[in-house]
Structure 1
Amino acid sequence: MELQNKKNIAKNIFFDILCFTLGGILYGISVSVFSEPNQIAPGGVTGISIILNSLIHTPVGIMALILNVPLIIWAIIELGYKLVVKTIFAIILTSISIDVIAMFIPPYQGDKMLVAIFAGITEGAGLALIFIRGGTTGGTDTAARLLGRRFPYFSMGRLMMFIDLCVVVISAIVFKSVESAMYAVIVIFVATRLIDAVLYGTDIGTGKMLFIMSQKSQEISQAIISQMSRGVTILKSKGAYTGKEGDVLLCAVRKYEVYRLTQLIKEIDIDAFIIIGDAGQINGEGFKENGKEEKTLKDIIKNRKRKE
């Protein structure tokens, strides 16, 4: 059993490093080959770094790393150091990739529409690979993930788009080019749509349903609620063979959250029995609400105040 656990840990670490490396390279290509050479600042910390690069000629990757420090501190306070380790690793990797790729791959400065489309594709694919393994690259995606804990009605892609648009407006002023800002919007749109498609699927209401059987059901349920901001239903059960009564935990999550949830469960009880199934459609808070308009930020804040 112990040997198998070590193999699983090694396997997970391998796939973490693989996805983070590929994601970092793709993200670096997006910035160094497409966005930065064409003065397109597609939002977030990287967008701010591109703007600063045009003003004071600082390397984009190094500046992004420096600007991410306050967000890392915020993430540690909100999530705890253990859950931010992957993000710190991803931030360092992507920051290095941006500057290293700039030295070896020549920039593309052809058709601006092609620049915007491919910048969005490479950025979205790179970030999605990192998100799938439970990390972020700091900047907008870290802020979006932290805000998503408080406002689950908004998908991560939409939260990122809102934050990024603020940076785009600043870039239009600094670059003195409305056209540059318009292309940045295209980059953001393509990237966020690709991220949502990979993480949430084509239907944002779909997800995974987990049945969890463990002797430490109370600890697991509290961890899911506090660390993942997901609800848990406790079902009473009785073993057919043993006749023992116990609890079965029912939890619905997004597809990309399954890996993180199973890891969380294993940390508490390595012997926990987990059944994972597809949920064709999930209606309710944090998922999809049919027949209702998506709530505005103002409505969500009002509802939270009422609950408090």
Structure 2
Amino acid sequence: MRRINLGAIWAEFVNLFLITVGIALAAAGYAIFQVPFNISAGGIGGLSIVVNHFTGVSVGLLYGLLNVPLLVLGFYQLGRWRFLMRTLVGVALFSLFTDLFLLYVPHFAPAFPITQDRLLTTIYGGIVGGIGGGLIYRAGATAGGTGILGRVIQLRTGVPLSQVYLYTDGLIVVTMGIVFGWEIALYSMLALFLNGLASDYALEGPSSVRTAMIVTDRPDALTTALMEGLARGVSRWPIQGGYTGQTRHMLLCTVYRPQVQELKRIVAETDEQAFLVIGDAHQALGAGFVPLKRRRRRG
């Protein structure tokens, strides 16, 4: 009899939870903060607002309908049934949550929109929606939209994905500017920028680690001092100076942010002539940091 993999079941449950929460947050940022002011971070959400302006059809339903041709395109270009089922669930949930928020929030909130300040609503809409998007991506899912078109174009032409998004979302923002005025377009561009920042933050988390590169003539002493003083591993290799041609050594050490001052002290006390560069790192995975786990492939 086939054994039940409880770890895989739990991982799928966590992914489903992240997808649901992420889509709910993305829909909340869109419906509560952006739709009342005709502001959107581009994409199908922005196009839905434009079409709603002329037809009166709910933006949630329009979001689902406008995604249909993109779903067909993605089915043939990005993985057929595996792609379709995952994306279809995301699109359906986003459409549902959007219409539910627009239907019920005005009845329960003391006032709707909850603020008349367009700048404030743009900021919160971009941040809340971006956090939701980051959680969706973190679970390996998508809520559809122009991301499907962007991925297809990138695979077919080799154009960077960020550049494709700039063209597709930028064109929709320009359309919103023509329909609703250029001030709305400016707010939408701000929402697009904040959405990307918040999405990256939710996807990768805060930068809590630092990487230090040290050029030194005392590699043995400095390696020992760093390993003993910080309890961190150190990698080293010989290098050659481009100007002097002298052979020196490069050390690489990754530490948590609170350890930076201690690292600088150790380097200064061990080798005053060392050259030290400290940079940000999004994540550190492996021994001594977050365990590196193999993700189970879905589908």
**TM-score, normalised via structure 1 length:** 0.61
Q: 1:190 matched to which residue of 2?
A: 194
Tell me which of 250, 263, 282 is aligned to 2:296: 263
Q: 1:178 matched to which residue of 2?
A: 182
Q: 2:70 matched to which residue of 1?
A: 71
Q: Deviation string for 1:115-135 (max 9, x for gaps)?
A: 111110111111111111111
Displacement, 1:152? 6.8
Structure 1 distance, partners of 2:100, 2:20, is: 13
Structure 2 distance, partners of 1:261, 1:71, is: 31
Structure 2 distance, partners of 1:159, 1:194, is: 20
Tell me which of 170, 173, 190 is aligned to 1:165: 170
Matches within 5 A, 1:1-308: 2-5=2-5, 7-80=6-79, 81-106=81-106, 107-149=113-155, 154=160, 159-175=164-180, 177-199=181-203, 262-264=295-297
Structure 2 distance, partners of 1:134, 1:151, is: 24
Change (3 A) 1:262 1:152: farther
* Structure 2 counterpart of 1:21, one-letter code: T
Change (3 A) 1:73 1:159: same
Change (3 A) 1:44 1:260: farther
Query: What is the CA RMSD across the aligned residues, in angstroms?
Result: 3.0
Structure 2 distance, partners of 1:128, 1:197, is: 7
Displacement, 1:95? 0.6
Displacement, 1:149? 4.0
**TM-score, normalised via structure 2 length:** 0.63
SS of the aligned residue for 1:108 comes to coil
Change (3 A) 1:155 1:58: same
Structure 2 distance, partners of 1:151, 1:198, is: 29
Structure 1 distance, partners of 2:161, 2:143, is: 17
Structure 1 distance, partners of 2:152, 2:140, is: 13
Change (3 A) 1:129 1:149: farther
Q: Deviation string for 1:100-146 (max 9, x for gaps)?
A: 01112133342111111111011111111111111111112222343
Q: Is the Cα contact below 8 Å between 1:41 and 1:51 reproduced in 2?
A: no
Structure 1 distance, partners of 2:11, 2:155, is: 25
Displacement, 1:260? 12
Q: Deviation string for 1:249-307 (max 9, x for gaps)?
A: xxxxx98xxx998333x88xxxxxxxxxxxxxxxxxxxxxxxxxxxxxxxxxxxxxxxx
Displacement, 1:55? 1.2
Displacement, 1:13? 2.4
Change (3 A) 1:63 1:181: same
* Structure 1 counterpart of 2:95, one-letter code: S
Q: Deviation string for 1:14-65 (max 9, x for gaps)?
A: 1122111111111111121111101113211111111111111110010110
Gaps of 5+ in 1: 207-253, 268-308
Structure 2 distance, partners of 1:77, 1:260, is: 32
Structure 2 distance, partners of 1:260, 1:53, is: 45
Displacement, 1:91? 0.6
SS of the aligned residue for 1:48 comes to helix
Percent identity of equivalent pairs: 28
Displacement, 1:179? 0.6
Q: 2:230 matched to which residue of 1?
A: none
State how many pairs are aligned.
211
Which one is further off, 22-31 or 104-113? Answer: 104-113
* Structure 2 counterpart of 1:20, one-letter code: I
Displacement, 1:148? 4.4
Q: Which has the larger radius of gyration?
A: 2
Displacement, 1:201? 6.4
